Structure formats: structure tokens, C-alpha cells
Amino acid sequence: MGAPTQNPLWGPDWLQVRAMWPIDPAIAHLNHGSFGAVPVPVIEAQDRWRRKMESDPTGFFWWVLPDALEEARRATAGFLEADPDGFVFVANATTAVNTVLRSVGLRRGDQVLLSDHGYGAIRLAAERACGLAGAEVVVQPVPLPRGGPNELGDAFLAGVTERTRIAVVDHIASPTAMVFPVGHIVRRLREVGVLSFVDGAHAPGMVDVNLGSLAPDFWTGNFHKWCCAPRGAAGLYVAPEHRERIVPLVTSWNAPEGFVSSFGYLGTDDYTPYLTVPTAIEFMGTLGWERVRTHNRALSRMGGDMIREAIDSKPEWSVDEGLFEAMTIVALPGTAVRTMDEGKDVSRRLAERFGIEAAVFPWRERGFLRLSAQAYNAPAEYERLAHALREVLPGG
Ligand SMILES: Cc1ncc(COP(=O)(O)O)c(C=O)c1O
């Protein structure tokens, strides 16, 4: 890639960057946050693994996969500054959370603390695990902050009671895109004897992750979001004192072999997403992590401002620099989006009429647009969305 551009938002070398993603040029993909997007060199790397597998299926599973997986696992743990003895691949953050909550040993009367910025499927997973154990889910309301990110942390921690056994906190929240101060939260939870589980579904790639210094009890993060790895590639970290207890949801051959090995083979499957994670990390590294992050931060902020102005929406939260990274939110006017289905309707109209993929969710029964910015996005796409939104929102 050429020398870094002076303009973090766009310029000739960003066009070269965009060309590395096979995204249909007719589509404005402004929802990287939901399912990511895989660049061509990473697709090709995964293809090479798949061809190797198909050239000798038995040989691949018996003689190639174990060592290749071990190498990928160690390299990925290194990227997260994680103790490799506590780090394993799982298919996605949902699997990681289900795994931990089902095997951590919840007891009758325990509370599992979540925030109301949490991801809906994780709440369902917590409710099922608690239902089986006679424990209780507590969803702590965390208001949109007027000041800095520490307000988020303190509001979340106010939900801790003497019955709280484990607290699951998003590093970057799904519906509100806000960056929670997870360092502060993990430290405080440790002081009061509550287990910490950081749901970093959006964290790897979007922000620096250093699991050595964060030292949570449990952590998960997706590589198929902001590291642009193939889908079905996430990590689970478990602190030393819990490794004996945490077992995969699926029991297979390696079950008797301890924490790391027991997650290494969960039956016949396509393990190539895991094998490709180091290539994805390396690819994004060649674009320049800081350069991409600066671009994404500036672009999501600019896109948010542009859209707010177009639909006359005022932010009701602090504009503190540290609150958002590569995603931001815009509050939608009126009451048209109070349910997931109503949000999907707006997204569908944007897709069908304007070729724009954008996430519209309800949060506390209010409609929000969640904007993502990744290396392949450009300012004109947000301008297009600003015009389109005026047409698709009720009354437009
Ligand atoms: C905070 C959070 N947790 C968990 C998930 C689930 O991720 P996955 O679908 O990869 O399991 C998401 C997905 O966007 C998320 O935003």
C-alpha cells in the first residue's frame, strides 16, 4: 500500500484499499458491524486452506489440521497479548457466552448482571443458563452518558449486588455503539469479588485488546467483524483458575485432554476460518491499524453529523471523543421504530430502493441508526444515506 494519505477520510490510496474488498460497487455497505466483510487476499488465503483440505481430506484432518490450528491459535493469542494456555477459537461470540454461562457453575439464587446496551441473543443465552440453574438475569439500565465513558462504567456497576456472580459487559455495545471502560469495570468487579466476562464481539481490530493487562475472568471477541477474517472465527479467553471447569457445549474426542485441547476439535467441520485469522490480522496490519482506525473514527463521526443534520436529529449524549470508535448512532425522529421488525422495515426500504445496507434498531423503544465505517467506506456513501433516509422515514 502507498504512503499514508494526508486526508484520513478519502483520497486516491483509499480507492486502492476499497478495491481489495469484493463488495458490489452498487451497494453502500454501511453495516460492517453486523457481519463484517472479507477482503480478497483473505478470501484467497481461506480458499488455499480449503483446496489443501480437499486435495487430501483424511491427510488434512489427521496430519495437517492439528499443527496448523495450534500455530493459528498461538499467533492469534499473541495479537491479543493473551496467555496462549487460556485462549481457544470458537465459532462466534454467541458460542463463547453460551459456553461459559453453561459451565461456570451458576447456582440457585445467583445473579448474572448484563446492561441494557447488551446484545439481545446474549441476554437470551443468559436467561436460558440462569433458568437451568435457578439463577436470575439482572439487566442494569445504563443511561446515555452526558459526560465521559466512565459514566457508563459507574452506571453498570451500580447493578452489582451481593448475589451477583458474574457480570457480562460489552466492550463496544451493539445497539448504541458506545465504548465501555472495560478496564475500570473489570478492576472494580475484581475488588468486589464478582466474575467479569467482557463481551468484546466488536473489539478485536476496532480497538487495542491486551488481555494480559485487562485480566478478565472471561473474554470473547469476534475476528469476523473488525479484523475482517472469514465468518465463524472468534476467540474465548479464560483465566487460569476457571480453565478446568469451562468445557465446550459439544463433547468430542479431545474432551479428556484439558481446556485448550478440548476446544480444538468439536467434530467434523470446516476449521478454515480459524486457520485464516492470522492472515486477516496481517492483511489489516499492512493497511496500517492506526491509519484504518483514524479513517474509521473520522468517517463514522462525519457520517453521523451529516445524517443528523439531514434528518434534524440532535445527539442526546456526550460527544466525548472516547465514546465512539468505528461505529456511531443517530437517534431517529418520531416513534416509527420501536421494535426489531420496524427497524428491519426501514433497513429493507434502504436496501431495496437505494442499495444501502444500514442497521436500524430499537433501543429503549426508540429508533436508532447504527452507522459503521470500515476502510472500504467513503464519505459519499453517508451522503447517499442521508438523502435516502429522508425518503424512507415515515413522513419523508
Ligand atoms: C456485543 C455483541 N455480542 C455478541 C454478538 C454476537 O456475535 P456473533 O453473531 O458473532 O456470535 C454481537 C454481534 O453483533 C455483539 O454486537
Q: What is the pLDDT along the chain (396 residues), one digit of tens a residue?
A: 444 445 777 777 898 999 999 999 999 999 999 999 999 999 999 999 999 999 999 999 999 999 999 999 999 999 999 999 999 999 999 999 999 999 999 999 999 999 999 999 999 999 999 999 999 999 999 999 988 888 999 999 999 999 999 999 999 999 999 999 999 999 999 999 999 999 999 999 999 999 999 999 999 999 999 999 999 999 999 999 999 999 999 999 999 999 999 999 999 999 999 999 999 999 999 999 999 999 999 999 999 999 999 999 988 887 677 899 999 999 999 888 999 999 999 999 999 999 999 999 999 989 999 999 999 999 999 999 999 999 998 766
Sequence length of the chain is: 396
Same domain, 215 and 305: no
C-alpha triplet 47, 53, 54: angle, nearest 5°: 90
Q: For position 193, which CATH number holds? A: 3.40.640.10
Residue 54 has a CB neighbour count (10 Å cut-off) of 9
Ligand 1 atom closest to 34 (CA) = 14
pLDDT for position 396: 61
Residues 304 and 257 in one domain: no
d(CA 321, CA 144): 15
Q: Look at residues 282, 314, 340 and tell me which one is the last residue of a structural domain.
A: 282
Do 49 and 16 have their domain in common?
no
CA dist., res. 66 & res. 114, Å (int):
36
Q: How far is the CA of 135 from the centre of ligand 1 (A)?
A: 23
Among protein residues, the one whose CA lies closest to atom 12 of ligand 1: 201
Q: Which residues line ligand 1 (CB under 6 A)?
A: 34, 92-94, 119, 122, 170, 174, 199, 201-202, 222
Answer whether residue 2 is part of any domain. Answer: no
Residue 364 lies in a domain: yes
User: Residue 314's domain is classified under what CATH number?
Assistant: 3.90.1150.10
Are residues 270 and 175 part of one domain? yes
Rg (CA), the chain: 21
The minimum-distance atom of ligand 1 relative to the CA of 171 is: 1
- ∠ CA 245-249-254 to the nearest 5 degrees? 75
CB 378 within 8 A of CB 18: yes
C-alpha 396 to ligand 1 mean position (Å): 32
Same domain, 128 and 200: yes
Residue 253, amino acid: W
- pTM, entire model: 0.96
Report the separation in Å between the CA atom of 235 and the middle of ligand 1, taken as the mean of its atom positions: 12
| Whether residue 334 sits in one domain with residue 202 | no
CA of 221 relative to ligand 1 center, distance in Å: 8
Residue among 89, 174, 209, 236 whose CB has most ligand 1 atoms within 8 A, to mutate: 174
Last residue of a domain, one of 228, 261, 282: 282
Is residue 7 in a domain? no
User: Is 301 among the domain residues?
Assistant: yes
Residue 131 lies in a domain: yes
Task: Based on the fold, state whether residues 130 and 218 are members of the same structural domain.
Answer: yes
Q: How far is CA 187 from CA 153, 181, 216, in A?
A: 11, 10, 8
Half-sphere exposure of 335 (CA within 13 A, CB side): 0
H or E segment and range at residue 29: strand 28-29
| Cα(201) to centroid(ligand 1), Å | 5
Range of the structural domain that residue 383 is part of: 12-30+288-392
- Choosing from 282, 311, 339, the residue where a domain stops is 282
Instruction: Report the separation in Å between the CA atom of 329 and the middle of ligand 1, taken as the mean of its atom positions.
Output: 17
Q: H/E/C letters for each residue in 266-305? A: CCCCCCHHHHHHHHHHHHHHHHCHHHHHHHHHHHHHHHHH
161 falls within a domain? yes
Shared domain for 330 and 367, answered yes or no, is yes
Residue 39 falls inside a structural domain: no
Q: Which residues pair with 175 in a beta bridge?
A: none
Task: Provide the edge-to-edge strand list for the sheet that holds 218-222.
Answer: 87-90, 234-238, 218-222, 195-200, 164-170, 111-115, 136-140
Q: Are residues 112 and 157 in the same domain?
A: yes
Are 273 and 382 members of one domain? no
Q: How many domains, in total, are found in the chain?
A: 2
Residues 354 and 235 in one domain: no
Residues 309, 210 share a domain: no
Ligand 1 centre distance from Cα of residue 315 (Å): 25
Half-sphere exposure of 35 (CA within 13 A, CB side): 5
Residue entry with cell 496500517: 288
Give the residue whose CA is nearest to atom 7 of ligand 1: 93
* Among 231, 101, 213, 119, residue whose Cα is nearest residue 167: 101
Atom in ligand 1 nearest the alpha carbon of residue 172: 1
Is 3 within a domain? no
